[in-house]
Amino acid sequence: MPDDDHVLARDLAAEAGRRLVELRTRGGDPDVLRKAGDRLSHEFLTAALADRRPGDVVLSEEGADNPVRLGARRVWIVDPLDGTREFGEPGRTDWAVHVALWEKTEREKTERERRDAGGAGDQTQCGQREELAAAHAVSSREVRGVQSRIHHASLPCRHSGDFTSI
């Protein structure tokens, strides 16, 4: 497990933001600009994550859902251009790029292994083990790294533990 995921998220979001600012300075029809911005940022982020974290799965708001993510150990969750409508409107600064990483916890991996091996670890009355395991999986998921970068360069970047945000 790389320990620099938060740095990667920050750097990719910042680079996507730079590319979007460059695209936006060219101007043009707002609808064309919105579609081009979504596509540009999505393609950059998914290609960069595939290159730098080839074993991870990417879930992007602009891409097709890959059901593999449901069983993946690590899933990058991306909104390549949050505020697409605003991005296309001249003078608007309320749009952003979001990059987050969801990662299974060690406890979830252990629970899954025990369940797959047929262990009775969480067996309850009335055969509710599967329901409890599913509820636990939902409640114990952790986000390991987060980056949200608004294109406006004057906003300060704040860091808190594994979380980075603007």
Query: Looking at residues 88-101, what average pLDDT do you find?
Result: 93
Across 61-65, 124-128, 139-143, the highest mean pLDDT is recorded for: 61-65
Q: How far apart are CA 126 and CA 136, in angstroms?
A: 18
Q: Which CATH superfamily is domain 5-104+141-165 in?
A: Fructose-1,6-Bisphosphatase, subunit A, domain 1 (3.30.540.10)
**Residue ranges per structural domain of the chain:** 5-104+141-165, 106-140
Give the Å distances, CA to CA, from 56 to 46, 71, 88, 104, 124.
11, 11, 31, 12, 34
Sheet holding 142-150, edge to edge: 57-60, 74-82, 96-103, 142-150, 163-165, 158-160
Q: Which residue has tokens 């009355």?
A: 125
CB-based contact 105:138 (threshold 8 Å)? no
Which residues make Cβ contacts (< 8 Å) with residue 161, sequence separation at least 6? none
Predicted confidence at residue 111, as pLDDT, reads: 61
Rg, the chain, Cα only: 19
- What average pLDDT does the chain have? 75
Give the Å distances, CA to CA, from 74 to 28, 38, 105, 143, 162.
38, 24, 10, 10, 15
Coil, helix or strand at residue 91: coil
Across 78-87, 98-107, 118-127, the highest mean pLDDT is recorded for: 78-87
Taking the whole predicted model, whether its pTM rises above 0.85 is answered as no
Query: Looking at residues 102-115, what average pLDDT do you find?
Result: 69
